[in-house]
Amino acid sequence: MLNLERLRTLDALARHGSVSGAAEGLHVTTSAVSQQMAKLEREVGQQLLARNGRGVRLTDAGRLLADHAARILSQVELAQADLEAQRGQVAGELRLSAFPTAARGLFPTALAALRTEHPALRLRSCELEPEAGVAGVVRGDLDLAVVLDWYNKPMPLPEGLVKAAVLDDPADVAMPAGHRLADRAEVDLGEFTDDEWITWGEGEFCHEWLMFTLRSLGVEPCVGHRAGETHTQLALVAAGLGVCIAPLLGRDPVPDGVVTVPLRQGVRRHVFVVWRADADRRPSIRAAVKALQTAGRTVRP
């Protein structure tokens, strides 16, 4: 009989591509991963791993069994979801991630409500950028991820995921109080040709969106500073170092010396939550989605 936990270890190795990655994803030590794989090889009577430089790779037999393991684990997930649905109990462990402003603006309200309403549910949350959150759900390291896309740049999602809207998040431009446009009722992105931008890290989805949007308006952006956190960006604006996009979610309090002005383009982020389709019937998933949507309704311009 194949051992389910050893199949889970093999699946993690196939998904993460290394022993250390599998150990991190499974929250165990690297030696525990190696021991589980050695036991699995003895059980099946075939070599599943081979040395590859300083790391390892799956053999043909390893890849074959890993494909079966992914399907078996998906069926186990379905069975667990069906059993939870039949019991109707919101219990067990739920692992969630959110990008930083959603973690700040949604998680305190949503997770506190879940803990109060469902004391048998154990919650584990972390901050992750949208791409990393989606990858974590696909790998099975997370049950839910709060992610985003923009009104003019959707985020592609892999097959096998389900999503639900949480809120539409309006975004303004934040600028120093002495900026030439600070007293305007609204502004156009094309008016910031001569300004330095404070933006997100290179390669991050939000940074790529801003570059794409400005260039589509004929503006070649001058990026002076980068910061992952909205409040760090706003602190740089307060110091007179540039302007930034300031979505409403998780923005308050805006520091002294900073003015936020709505954009004529009606710029919005679409905030949504994603989970695996094979876990769709889990009451804990449904309860968490509802709590996040309720928290989203408290975010008001």
Give residue-wise pLDDT tens across range 208-250.
Answer: 999 999 999 888 899 999 998 899 999 999 999 999 999 999 8
The lowest-confidence range among 19-33, 165-179, 207-221 is: 19-33
- pLDDT bin (cut points 50, 70, 90) of residue 3 is confident
pLDDT for the residue numbered 56: 85
Q: What is the mean pLDDT of residues 177-193?
A: 94
pLDDT for the residue numbered 105: 93
Query: Which residue bears the tokens 């309090």?
Result: 253
Q: What is the mean pLDDT of residues 145-167?
A: 91
* DSSP code string of 66-122: HHHHHHHHHHHHHHHHHHHHHHT---EEEEEEE-HHHHHHTHHHHHHHHHHH-TTEE
- Give the model confidence (pLDDT) of 112-125 as tens digits: 999 999 998 899 99
Q: For residue 139, is pLDDT > 80?
A: no
- Give the model confidence (pLDDT) of 70-90 as tens digits: 888 878 877 776 676 656 678
* DSSP code string of 215-258: HHTT---EEEEE-SSHHHHHHHHHTTS-BEEEESTTTPSPPTTE
Taking every pair of Cα atoms in the chain, the longest distance, rounded to a whole number of angstroms, is: 75
Query: Which residue bears the tokens 């975004």?
Result: 171
pLDDT for the residue numbered 299: 87
Q: What is the mean pLDDT of residues 90-105?
A: 91
| Amino acid, single-letter form, for residue 71 | R
Q: For residue 183, is pLDDT > 70?
A: yes
